[in-house]
Amino acid sequence: MIPTENTLPTKTIGFIVNPVAGMGGAVGLKGTDGKDILNKAISLGAKPVAAARAEAFLFELSPAKSNIRLLVGAGDMGQNEAEKTGFTCKVVGGKKLETSSEDTRAIAQEMAGAGVDLLVFCGGDGTTRDILKAVDMKLPVLGVPTGVKMHSAIFAVNPQAAARAAVRFLWGGLPLREAEVMDVDEKAFREGRLSAELYGYMLMPYEPHLIQANKMATPMTETELQNQAAIAIYIIEEMKPEVVYVIGPGTTTRTIADLLDAKKTLLGVDLFCNKALIAGDVNEKGILEAIKGKSAQIVVTPIGGQGFIFGRGNQQISPKVIRQVGLDNIVVVASKGKLNRLESLRVDTGDPELDRTFRARKVRVITDYKVTQEITIE
């Protein structure tokens, strides 16, 4: 519950939005770090997503607005979203047509100097690194997941959860913990190589049902490899003629391609039909074109340690794609080892209505050869 009592003490929140965060997701660029990549994303038709995520956070927080003193970045870096959702705010910095990581760091430093009780930012791992450089361990920080790659443990599971975590920390005594700040080499990531690095730690409010864990790789033991192969064999046996299979990233899903003698992108989305690769590393537009007027299925595996099946690293499989394919045509694959390390399965598609629909039903999870489970989405 978000408090509305005016008797509660006033708390100060610093709020920063990276307006270009997440734009590379649907167009398959796996990030937007760097001006060249941002320009490429725009040329491919990428649309901003950060503003909507920021507004969702503030809307969830709005019942407590009378008890909040809000400091925001100028213009698209928080001011516009705050004013749109009815918050009175103090603006930090000046409006710019193009913003940069230097702007993020400067605004965060000024907010830290102003003594905010909590710094909330909307972005991905790149933005997290900027915040780390600016404030280190000086004050509590909370991330609203807005990027493409979110390996750090500083993020809430979605914007609404971020608002609830903020409230429970500011007025409910939610404890703080040190959270890992992780990031990957985007160039290597686009080439299909996952090279993650720990950059440091920040303090954050912690509640396990509201905050995501950092991404964890499943150990590649002989048992794990055999389990992945058994899952892949079952998927291949079940493949129907003329159906387009939209296969998401991951080692479990890549095993399907390996057994079909096809080269799948480890960190991208690929299309198969009649047990053959028909398109590799596709974006949202490519998927929609390929499945138009055809039967299709989506095959995904959850993010290790986090449990997300949509909304982390596979934004090419957008809400529009999911609706066109249909929720009944989604298959989740997960080895027993991976599933045992997860507390739950999650979705964060960016479409709240679609997320609610997911949470009202169970998904079919294949865990071995001809072995399936029905699991509820948290």
d(CA 156, CA 162): 5
- Dig out the tokens for 155 from the structure: 């993020």
Question: Does 231 or 29 have the greater pLDDT score?
Answer: 231
Same domain, 177 and 324: no
Query: What is the C-alpha to C-alpha distance for residues 189 and 95, in angstroms, rounded to an integer?
Result: 32
Structure tokens at 348: 């964060």
pLDDT at residue 233, as a whole number: 96
In-domain check, residue 213 = no
Average pLDDT over residues 199-217: 86
Of the residues 151, 179, 205, which one is the last residue of a structural domain? Answer: 205
Check whether residue 83 and residue 231 sit in a common domain: no
Q: What is the pLDDT of residues 254-313, one digit of tens each?
A: 999 999 999 888 888 999 999 999 999 999 999 999 999 999 999 999 988 789 999 988
Q: Cα(310)–Cα(322) distance, rounded to whole angstroms?
A: 10
Q: How far apart are CA 378 and CA 343, in angstroms?
A: 9
CA proximity to 255, closest of 271, 285, 233: 233
Question: Mean pLDDT lowest for which of 6-15, 62-71, 165-174?
Answer: 6-15
Q: How many CB atoms are closer than 10 A to CB 47?
A: 11
Average pLDDT, integer, range 34-52: 67
pLDDT in the model for residue 182: 86
Residue 279: give the domain boundaries.
222-376
pLDDT, tens digit, 9 for 90 and up, residues 95-147: 988 888 999 999 999 999 999 999 999 999 989 999 999 999 999 999 999 98
What is the per-residue pLDDT for 193?
A: 55
292 shares a domain with 184: no
Higher pLDDT, 286 or 183: 286
Per DSSP, helices labelled H in the chain are 35-43, 50-61, 79-84, 101-113, 125-135, 159-172, 186-190, 222-238, 251-259, 284-291, 319-325, 336-340, 352-359
pLDDT for 187: 58
Dump the DSSP string for 194-254. Answer: --EEEEEEEEEE--TTTBPPPP-PPP--HHHHHHHHHHHHHHHHHPPTTPEEEE-SSHHHH
Q: What is the CATH number of the domain that holds 171?
A: 3.40.50
Closest C-alpha among 315, 333, 325, 137 to residue 251:
333
> Does 226 share its domain with 195?
no
List the one residue out of 87, 20, 31 whose CA is nearest residue 57. 87
**Residues 332 and 239 placed together within one structural domain of the fold:** yes
Question: Is a pLDDT exceeding 60 seen at residue 27?
Answer: no
Evaluate if residue 167 carries a pLDDT over 70.
yes
If you search the block for the tokens 């290597």, which residue do you land on?
188
Residue 210 lies in a domain: no
Q: How confident is the model at residue 25 (pLDDT cuts 50, 70, 90)?
A: low
User: How many separate domains does the chain show?
Assistant: 2
The whole-number average pLDDT for the span 14-41 is 69
- Give domain status of residue 2, yes or no: no
Q: What is the chain's mean pLDDT, rounded?
A: 88
Distances in Å between the Cα of 295 and the Cα atoms of 239, 245, 263, 361 are 12, 9, 23, 22
Q: Average of pLDDT values for 81-97?
A: 94
Q: For 340-369, what is each residue's pLDDT tens digit?
A: 888 789 999 999 999 999 998 888 899 999
| Cα dihedral: 266, 285, 279, 372 (round 10) | 60
**Band of the pLDDT at 18, cuts 50, 70, 90?**
very high
Mean pLDDT of 57-65: 95
Quick one: 123 and 167 in the same domain? yes
Residue 350 located in a structural domain: yes
Judgement on whether residues 362 and 297 belong to the same structural domain of the protein: yes
Candidate from 174-178, 191-195, 219-223, 306-310 with smallest mean pLDDT = 191-195
**Kind plus residue range of the DSSP H or E element containing 68:** strand 68-73
Q: How far is CA 174 from CA 154, 164, 210, 359, in A?
A: 15, 11, 11, 26
- Whether 331 has a pLDDT exceeding 90, the answer reads yes
Same domain, 140 and 182: yes
Count of H helices and E strands in the chain? 13, 16
